[in-house]
Chain A
Amino acid sequence: MADRNAEHRIDQALRSRPPGLWPFLAAGYPSIGATEVILRRMGSLSIRGVELGFPFSDPIADGPVIQNAFTHALAAGTRVADIFEMVRDVRDEVAYPIVAMVSVSIVYRMGVESFVERARSAGFDGLIVPDLALEEAPQLATCAAAAGLRLSMLIAPTTPPERQARIAKLAGGFLYYVSVQGTTGQRAALPVDLSDHVQQVRAETGLPVVVGFGISTPEHVREVCGYADGAIVGSAIVKRITDALQTGADEAQVVEQVARFVDMLCV
């Protein structure tokens, strides 16, 4: 944060009404340059923030679409340092918050303290480490808080209320509510009891709740934003890139198609 008195970008985004879209992008897919251009384009859309996924070799929480994007990004040579450098380049050109979605393997290899420091200096505003369970999270939570990064933690439909409270105590920014018991990827319909769950989590924890997994259409986004503090769309956006590449689109066309789809998803 350049100005320590300014409101944190994530808090500001969560406060703005109505709640809105948080698109997920796989860094380095189809190339780190393309990701950079897409991030710039997102600046002109009415999104609330971006979740930027660090490609990982073994993403157990992800379905086939994001797995494929990560495999492609790694095969294209995407390195952690490239992602930091790219974010640093776009940071001052866009106003929305950028949250790093990164596997614990990547964080631990670099070391918790140095990962947090590099993420902060690159201009990330928050972190989501989907495979870091509550019991293993205290060190990262402390480090992130000290650096002014918001650590969003996951809540699943199977998380008991008592555990939700302990997770919320450690988390910063928003809680990431996993809408379905499963991996990331499109679903035809959202669970019927999603609204009740989200409102229960928010009431019991007092934290904003953003919903992800299985959200893929403008209707889904509108519905979720009716009761949650935001909606994350991942696989459906990444799939637009895959589809565009399969039709032989060049990078400029890929960017255009992604931007058009994200614009359509914005409520």
Chain B
Amino acid sequence: MTEKTSQTAIPDSAGRYGAFGGRYVPETLMSALHELEAAYAAARVDPAFWVELEAYLRDYVGRPSPLYLAERLTSRLGGARIYLKREDLNHTGAHKINNTLGQAILARRMGKRRIIAETGAGQHGVATATAAAVFGLDCVVYMGAEDVRRQMLNVFRMELLGARVVPVESGQRTLKDAINEALRDWIATVADTHYVIGSVMGPHPFPMLVRDLQSVIGRETRQQILAAESRLPDAVLACVGGGSNAAGIFYPFVEDKGVRLIGVEAAGEGLDRRHSATISRGRPGVLHGMQTLVLQDDDGQTQAVHSVSAGLDYPGVGPEHAYWASTGRAEYVSATDDEALDAFELLCRTEGILPALETAHAVAHCVKLAPQLGRDGVIVVNLSGRGDKDCVEVARLRGRKLGG
């Protein structure tokens, strides 16, 4: 049975996390948000919902995911003991499945036979298509045309799973534009369609819903690290694009004041060049139905962003992260494309684990932090996804061409 948290005052009934969150959508969507809010409020206190979800998480996803002591990486960096929370070992290869199964069960409870999703790197699209297949729902995934190019393998996986992948040609042709298009679909189809948002973002109740569904990561981690070390870690690290894997592992540690929660954003080519470090460089604004920190210009127009990893290539961030940044509860740092690529290779060679490029940003910060904390320190890195999907892109960046 899922533990009920003591932090339920956040968000408030309007979906506010301090100054962030809320609902900024056309009136056409409000009834769907109210319906979802009511359905989730009912599911949240219904043991049957959690029993069903937990059975899928155990028997289908393979949870709990291991917490692995990375001894060779630890000794290479010469500092804190490093544990990896192996979300990459989940079915479909990332943390995204924790959320999509929960939302698919909710969609079924609401009587909706069709689910739609946006995807950046393709992991959330694959996880949504997977949930659709296992529950027999129709599925459409919106994906920026630029990301379709970068993530061909995941596009094919989604199609194999029976989903229709729609390349989005508007705007910058990446994740932000895919979300716009998914919202437009939903505005026209709310009666029979549920929008499975892939991160802790969007209008209330999505940030709360996705955080709750991903919190299984942090709850397991807390038990596992206590079992392994008989104490809590000094720091928990996770990469942040929209921020769902970070919110999932941070949330159960929020009230453990001695645990540093560190989100790692994508600094791209560097913070003074093209990047997508929203918390580091963004300012308060509205995007995709939420008030949050946004990379935008002086007119409120969303700015072009860049990251080597398609999943972090996002100009906004979940409102709870903006809130945690504003209160100082979590710290947000960044890693560049080059640092992430180096960390990607380091983890391959020291541990035999090929991380997603998104995840490699968290590993890159671990490389800096572990020596600082010293040998008595303990770090947990959320290894949010595996990197098979990135091999073609990494090879291209390294000057190699794979396959035909």
Contacts and interface: CB of A to CB of B under 8 A. Distances in A.
A103 B300 contact: yes
A253 interface: no
B26 interface: yes
Interface residues of B, number: 35
B184 A80 contact: no
Contacts of A170: none
A160 B24 contact: no
Nearest to B13: A135
A249 interface: no
A109 B170 CA distance: 23
Nearest to A133: B23
Given A74-B301, A105-B296, A133-B27, A60 B188 contact: no
A61 interface: yes
Contacts of B27: 133-134, 153-156, 159, 167, 178
Interface residues of A, number: 44
A247 interface: no
B180 A181 contact: no
B288 A183 contact: no
Interface stretch (B76-84, B144-152, B279-287): B279-287
B300 A133 contact: no
B299 A79 contact: yes
Interface string B4-33: 000000000010000000111111101110
Given A79-B299, A135-B14, A136-B23, A108 B28 contact: no
Q: Which of B27, B191, B285, B288 has the most CB of A within 10 A?
A: B27
A105 B303 CA distance: 12
Interface in A71-108: 71, 74, 79-80, 103-108
Contact of B286 (A59, A71, A108): A108
A9 to B, nearest CB: 25
Interface of B: 14, 22-28, 30-32, 170-171, 176, 180, 183-184, 187-188, 190-191, 284-289, 291, 294, 296, 298-302
Interface of A: 56-64, 67, 71, 74, 79-80, 103-110, 130-136, 153-160, 163, 167, 178, 180-183
Given A109-B298, A133-B23, 10 more contacts: A79-B299, A80-B299, A104-B24, A105-B287, A109-B296, A110-B299, A110-B300, A158-B28, A158-B32, A181-B190
